[in-house]
Amino acid sequence: MGRKKYKFNPKTLNYERVGISIKDKFTKAIAYLSSSLALALIIVVIVINAYETPKTKALKRENQRLLTQYELLSKDLNKIENVLAELQNRDDNIYRVIFETNPIPSSVRKAGFGGANKYSQLESMDNSELVIETAKKLDVLSKEAYIQSKSYDDILKMALNKEKMLACFPAIQPIANKDLKRTASGWGVRLHPIYKVRKMHYGMDFSAPVGTPVYATGDGQVTATKGSKRSRIGLGLNLKIDHGYGYETVYGHLNSFNVKRGQKVKRGDIIAYVGNTGGSTAPHLHYEVHKNGKRVNPAYYYYKDLTPQEYDKMIAISSNIGQSLD
């Protein structure tokens, strides 16, 4: 039973018993209940922190496992980054050099991601720095891999085009001349056989009997078949082949044609036969190579059917200063 309280009343000069109102009783009850709840909450927090539940332990283990996986993933991404960098280096400094095209600028390969911060939703996660860094690496590698894939598509197209281009180069001799005995006169200043003056000889002469087959030295299209067998000046019967890529070849002093204007030919096709027409002093073929409209030394292009030793020998023979046959 609680202690009774009394209060002195100066009017009656007596001590009177003090009564407790319902409001005071309610306030005290609320205060007591609040204190009890606060104490209970403190006890619960202490117990939870001191003693983990099985669910809490499982969550912590899962978080640690995910953290370890992120760290391993980050290391794997670093390895992939190194491999991709090596592929990019080969692309820019080997493949594109071979095909004579410009490397992909670093500003294109390493371009960032514009716009708002796309990783803001990851900032609230545990270990957000690691998660965001990993996400950034994935995005950058994905873009670089896409660019590299497109680059290899371009290189494949260039390789196919290069194969076609190589087939069009005038890379063989225009007549059968394996032993080089038919090499008569080469590029350079020579004594003209008719005018007996020194003139520039813009081509190569191959001596051969009338009717010897003449071959297309590269893939192309016949653009001209002209001249006359009765003509005693110029190239007589002659034809021209456009090989594309700026290359043309001319075959002069022919006896007859084996192709028509506009006809497409392959390297090694018989296009005509050796003759003695035009300003010629003996049966032979006069052969020229034009690059971008200018005549160039044909000897520079016989890489397809001559060994290095045979090539050196041909250069020595064709450089012999003497009289040309036309």
**Along the 326 residues of the chain, how does pLDDT read in single tens digits?**
556 666 667 777 776 666 666 766 677 778 777 787 777 778 777 766 666 667 777 777 777 777 777 777 778 778 887 877 888 887 777 777 766 678 888 777 776 655 556 666 666 666 667 777 777 778 777 888 888 888 888 888 877 788 888 899 999 999 998 888 888 777 877 766 666 667 778 899 999 999 999 999 999 999 999 988 887 778 999 999 999 989 999 999 999 999 999 999 999 999 999 999 988 888 999 999 999 999 998 988 888 888 888 888 877 777 665 545 55
Distance of alpha carbon 46 from alpha carbon 35, whole angstroms: 17
- 145 and 230 inside one domain: no
Residues 72 and 46 in one domain: no
Residue 15 domain-assigned? Answer: yes
The answer to whether residue 178 sits within a structural domain is no
Hey, how many other C-beta atoms are within 10 angstroms of the C-beta on 259? 18
In a domain, 202, yes or no: yes
Shared-domain flag, residues 153 and 101: yes
Of 168, 198, 223, the residue that ends a domain is 168
Q: How many domains does the chain have?
A: 3
> Other C-beta atoms within 10 Å of 25: how many?
10
Q: What Cα–Cα distance (Å) separates residue 284 from each residue in 165, 185, 201?
A: 29, 10, 15
How would you classify the pairing of strands 270-274 and 247-257? antiparallel
Which of these, 219, 231, 228, 198, lies nearest to 323 by C-alpha position? 198
Full-model pTM? 0.55
Residue 56, domain member (yes or no): no
Domain enclosing residue 81, as ranges: 68-168
Answer yes or no: do 164 and 267 share one domain.
no
Query: Are 145 and 206 in a shared domain?
Result: no
